[in-house]
């Protein structure tokens, strides 16, 4: 095969055991072919387990090559006898070098797949071909393409001066955010929001100051941190921000995976609909519950209960 980095990788004709190199690849593989997943990159939390079928939650923890914790040893990975090592996400010289080095050390083919929003359908098709699940890959590719196309079409009619200025807050103090072009805020940019942190230029995640946030004065704040979400309304500095004054603060669902990022994998598809409804309620007036129920059943292989739906959408108000 030729992967997204242009690397020629010799792979077995039949691939049944796949080691996911990081969290993004784990989510991609789990949604498409969970029976091919060798194991989780870290222990699942109790909350995550509730949204996944029991037969998959019992998979072992095998670690990962991408990330700071639970780093896997190439020799230990080789002993687990995977047919393929899969990475999904940013494709740049750093990840290409890691792929080449790990492939040599472990003696296992290592494929890189582009994780950008525009290439998501291609990722499903390519992985489906690799693991012998072409029909499933085509199904999820159509869902991804149709979802993005629909959001693009409906947002296109929103005038530029009516697109909200949004700050994505991460971390316990809300001072971590994604710069322009960051995979972590790709969802915001996809729904036409103005990422206020883009004023600092292009890049990945970055720590900013409270002074910068006050200067930007965002109209909307989106966060994944429940503690920060609970505390910022009581903080005298944050209370000066327009989004806080207007009550436009939204806690993104994170179970079993985040709707904005955490990780920024295919789980972001349902987050697109959630963001669109928050930012343009008059255009996206439909009830989210059917779409969430369908997405979870289709991608996570388990339909959420009504109580779980209530919990997931509790931050949307």
Percent of the chain exceeding pLDDT 70 equals 99
Length of the chain: 317
Q: Work out whether strand 110-114 and strand 176-178 pair parallel, antiparallel, or are unpaired.
A: unpaired
Q: Which residues are CB-neighbours of 315 under 8 A, at least 6 positions away?
A: 229, 250, 251, 252, 253
Q: What does the pLDDT average to over 16-22? A: 97
Percent of the chain exceeding pLDDT 90 equals 97
Whether 12 shows a pLDDT value over 70: the answer reads yes
User: Do 127 and 177 sit in the same domain of this protein?
Assistant: no
Which tens digits make up the pLDDT trace of 56-79? 999 999 999 988 888 999 999 999
pLDDT value, residue 70 = 87
Q: Work out whether strand 205-207 and strand 176-178 pair parallel, antiparallel, or are unpaired.
A: antiparallel
Which tens digits make up the pLDDT trace of 245-275? 999 999 999 999 999 999 999 999 999 999 9
23: helix, coil or strand?
Answer: helix
Rounded CA separation 21/311 (Å) = 30
Q: pLDDT higher for 67 or 173?
A: 173
Number of domains into which the chain is organized:
2
Whether 317 shows a pLDDT value over 70: the answer reads no
The 3-state secondary structure of 53-97, one letter per residue:
CHHHHCCCECCECCCCCCECCHHHHHHCCCCEEEEEECCCHHHHH
Q: What does the pLDDT average to over 69-93? A: 94
pLDDT value, residue 67 = 84
Rounded CA separation 151/135 (Å) = 25
User: Do 134 and 170 sit in the same domain of this protein?
Assistant: no
Tell me if 42 is assigned to some domain: yes
Which tens digits make up the pLDDT trace of 97-145? 999 999 999 999 999 999 999 999 999 999 999 999 999 999 999 999 9
Rounded CA separation 56/49 (Å) = 9
Q: What does the pLDDT average to over 284-309? A: 97
Q: What is the CATH classification number for the domain harbouring 85?
A: 3.40.50.1980
The DSSP secondary-structure symbol of 166 reads: E
pLDDT value, residue 96 = 97
User: Do 162 and 148 sit in the same domain of this protein?
Assistant: no
- Domain final position from 152, 170, 188: 152
pLDDT band for 316, please (50, 70, 90 cuts). Answer: low
Domain that holds residue 113: 18-152
E-state strands within the chain: 18-20, 84-89, 110-114, 165-169, 176-178, 194-195, 205-207, 220-223, 249-251
Per-residue tokens: 219:
């109209």
Rounded CA separation 189/120 (Å) = 16
Mean pLDDT, all residues of the chain: 96
Tell me if 80 is assigned to some domain: yes
Rounded CA separation 112/213 (Å) = 36
User: Do 131 and 256 sit in the same domain of this protein?
Assistant: no
Computed from CA positions of residues 127, 132, 138, 140, in that sequence, does the dihedral angle turn out positive or negative? Answer: negative
pLDDT value, residue 156 = 96
pTM to 2 decimal places: 0.96
User: Do 192 and 260 sit in the same domain of this protein?
Assistant: yes
Residue 205 bridge partners (DSSP):
178
User: Do 264 and 187 sit in the same domain of this protein?
Assistant: yes
pLDDT value, residue 107 = 96
- Domain final position from 152, 185, 204: 152
Nearest 10 degrees: Cα torsion 130, 136, 140, 146 = 120
pLDDT value, residue 114 = 97
pLDDT value, residue 69 = 85
């Amino acid at each position: 095969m030729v992967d997204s980095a242009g690397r020629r990788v010799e792979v077995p004709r039949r691939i049944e055991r796949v080691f996911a190199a990081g969290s993004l690849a784990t989510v991609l593989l789990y949604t498409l072919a969970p029976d091919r997943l060798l194991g989780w990159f870290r222990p699942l939390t109790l909350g995550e387990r509730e949204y996944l079928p029991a037969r998959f939650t019992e998979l072992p923890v095998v670690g990962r090559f991408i990330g700071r914790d639970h780093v896997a040893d190439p020799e230990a990975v080789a002993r687990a006898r995977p047919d393929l090592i899969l990475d999904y996400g940013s494709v740049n010289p750093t990840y290409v070098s890691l792929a080449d080095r790990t492939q040599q050390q472990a003696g296992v083919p290592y494929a890189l797949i582009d994780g950008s929003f525009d290439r998501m359908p291609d990722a499903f098709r390519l992985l489906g071909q690799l693991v012998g699940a072409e029909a499933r890959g085509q199904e999820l590719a159509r869902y991804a393409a149709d979802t993005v196309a629909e959001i693009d079409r409906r947002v296109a009619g929103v005038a530029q001066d009516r697109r909200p200025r949004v700050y994505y807050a991460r971390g316990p103090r809300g001072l971590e955010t994604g710069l322009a072009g960051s995979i972590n805020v790709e969802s915001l940019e996809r729904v036409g929001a103005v990422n206020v942190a883009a004023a600092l230029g292009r890049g990945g995640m970055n720590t900013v100051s409270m002074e910068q946030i006050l200067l930007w004065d965002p109209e909307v704040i989106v966060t994944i941190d429940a503690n920060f979400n609970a505390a910022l309304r009581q903080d005298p500095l944050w209370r000066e921000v327009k989004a806080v004054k207007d009550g436009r603060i939204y806690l993104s669902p994170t179970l079993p995976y985040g709707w904005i990022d955490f990780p920024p994998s295919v789980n972001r598809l349902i987050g697109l609909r959630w963001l669109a409804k928050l930012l343009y309620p008059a255009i996206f007036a439909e009830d989210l519950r059917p779409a969430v129920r369908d997405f979870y059943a289709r991608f996570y292989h388990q339909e959420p209960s009504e109580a779980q739906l209530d919990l997931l959408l509790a931050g949307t108000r």
